[in-house]
Structure 1
Amino acid sequence: MLIRRYGRHDRNAPRRWAFVDSRPGQESIRWGELPGDEHLLDVLTGKDQGTPSTEPVYLVCTHGRHDACCAVWGRPAAAALAAAYPDRTWECSHVGGDRFAPNVVLLPHSLFYGHVPPSRVAELATRYEDGLIVLEFFRGSGAFPPHVQAAQHFARAAGYSLAVDALRPIAIHQLAPNTWHVRLATHPQTQLPSHAATGRRDRASGVLASPTASVPPDQAANQASVDVITVEVAAHLVTIDGAMTCASKAPGRVRQFTLISQIHAA
């Protein structure tokens, strides 16, 4: 990723690099000086370890050359976030999912948000500081593959924990080419096996999921006591009769996930 501060910036100022690890349980950020592009090889090989930082990093995609929507919608969001968190906010190059502009990424947990209005963007960072997710705009975590993101979405929509570190996958079974059985630990303190599955977000992913009814408080309280749940999800392509971004043409096709069975305790 390429990043820069919102607004005017001094092109003669020393450049820096940042290395972010978003693997569950190993989230971290390190910063260092970048004397030249070739120095990045020293960073990637571990020769330059940089300096660890406990400050989160907030990215807003404003990469208008890839799709104008990211600049048109991203810059107002970047301005609002920079006003609240000037030392943590950066404009960034393409993060994928142009149709979700403006896109916001919170690091080191790799939380992707989309369609975030400027009036709400600072709320995402505030809740992140509290260790919580704002489900309304949440696209998913880049630390997990799309089918796990979908399972987590349905679990949260059903009243399970909104904690950033909750709902990590314990086991994943592919039942069919586009169907998965996912077991999730509902609480952050639940011990996970070392082989818990992780993966990377594909370029244009974002969990499009069918609406889920709200959960009564008494039912949500019962769910809070469950340690492990099972979620089964299926993916299929949906045709959208319209342009989804400033640069795209109709029709468009997107992947959508559905919940195929009731969530239950594992």
Structure 2
Amino acid sequence: FRVDARPGHEDVRTGIWSSPAELAAAVHSDGDPHPDPLVLVCAHGRHDACCAVRGRPLAAALVADDPEGTWECSHIGGCRFAPALVLLPHGLTYGGVTPADGPAVVREYGRGLVVPGLLRGRSALPPAVQAAQHHARAVTGATGVDDLGVADVDSDGRPPGHTSWRVTFHHPDCVIEVRERFVEVDRPLTCAARPAGRIRVFDLVDTRT
């Protein structure tokens, strides 16, 4: 499978290769259109045991509904949110999805909807924009997969290295400003982590609708 998760370019293509030497050609060929979504569940226990312990039951619950489109996968980031779920081709990443909740999350995706309470963001967008989109969904109540397209980021020309962003969205229209900071924590963030660690958060600064 080759996936394009960029907004407006969502696409899944398939190809066949029988040896590593053929892989590059298979990836760069047009391939065959794959009409159905793909569901990835991180089960990479070597990277972090939590991903396998929590991810494999989630994958099993999803396989019951869609055995062809559900895949266990390697590390996708955000182990502290295990079990982690990725919905393709949109690249929607969910965290803390239980086996009981997983099938409903996937069914909503099939209807073109997200589940905001579990949604971590969209992989094709920068972290600050993902955070701004989260706040925009909370402000507007928008739950469509394609809602809140990004119209502009940092329209006021702030210099590189700044820690705040102003993001303009359309459908529905709103402007969200977020500020980045890091929070120190005195506990392991994942099964494999060692304290102390820190997490990045994006605080909501301002909204305009």
Same fold (TM over 0.5): yes
Alignment partner of 1:34 out of 9, 17, 28: 17
Match in the other structure for 1:182: 167
Tell me, yes or no, if the aligned pair for 1:57 and 1:106 is still in contact at 8 Å. Answer: yes
Please give the residue correspondences for 1:14-163 in structure 2 after superposition, counting only pairs within 5 Å: 18-44=1-27, 46=28, 48-163=29-144
Tell me, yes or no, if the aligned pair for 2:17 and 2:26 is still in contact at 8 Å. Answer: no
TM-score (ref. length: structure 2): 0.94
CA distance in 2, matches of 1:159, 1:24: 20
- Counterpart amino acid of residue 56 in structure 2: R
CA distance in 2, matches of 1:166, 1:248: 36
3-state SS of 1:153 partner: helix
CA distance in 1, matches of 2:16, 2:23: 10
The runs of 5 or more residues in structure 1 that have no matched partner are 1-17, 188-226
Match in the other structure for 1:13: none
TM-score (ref. length: structure 1): 0.75
Measured on the aligned residues, the alpha-carbon RMSD in Å equals 1.2
Work out whether 1:249 is the aligned partner of 2:194. yes
CA distance in 2, matches of 1:259, 1:50: 42
CA distance in 1, matches of 2:67, 2:50: 23
- Counterpart amino acid of residue 81 in structure 2: F
- Counterpart amino acid of residue 208 in structure 2: H
- Counterpart amino acid of residue 168 in structure 1: G
Tell me, yes or no, if the aligned pair for 1:179 and 1:234 is still in contact at 8 Å. Answer: yes
- Counterpart amino acid of residue 55 in structure 1: D
Tell me, yes or no, if the aligned pair for 2:40 and 2:85 is still in contact at 8 Å. Answer: yes
Work out whether 1:264 is the aligned partner of 2:202. no
**Matched pairs, number:** 205
Deviating above 2 A after TM superposition, structure 1's stretches of 4 or more consecutive aligned residues are none
- Counterpart amino acid of residue 114 in structure 1: G
Match in the other structure for 1:10: none
Q: Deviations over 1:38-66 (max 9, x none)?
A: 2121034x3x3221111000000001111
Relative to structure 2, which stretch is displaced further, 236-245 or 35-44? 35-44
Match in the other structure for 1:192: none
The runs of 5 or more residues in structure 2 that have no matched partner are none
Q: Which has the larger radius of gyration?
A: 1
CA distance in 1, matches of 2:153, 2:185: 30
CA distance in 2, matches of 1:119, 1:34: 36
Match in the other structure for 1:9: none
Tell me, yes or no, if the aligned pair for 1:175 and 1:181 is still in contact at 8 Å. Answer: no
Q: Percent identity?
A: 45
CA distance in 1, matches of 2:111, 2:123: 20
Match in the other structure for 1:222: none
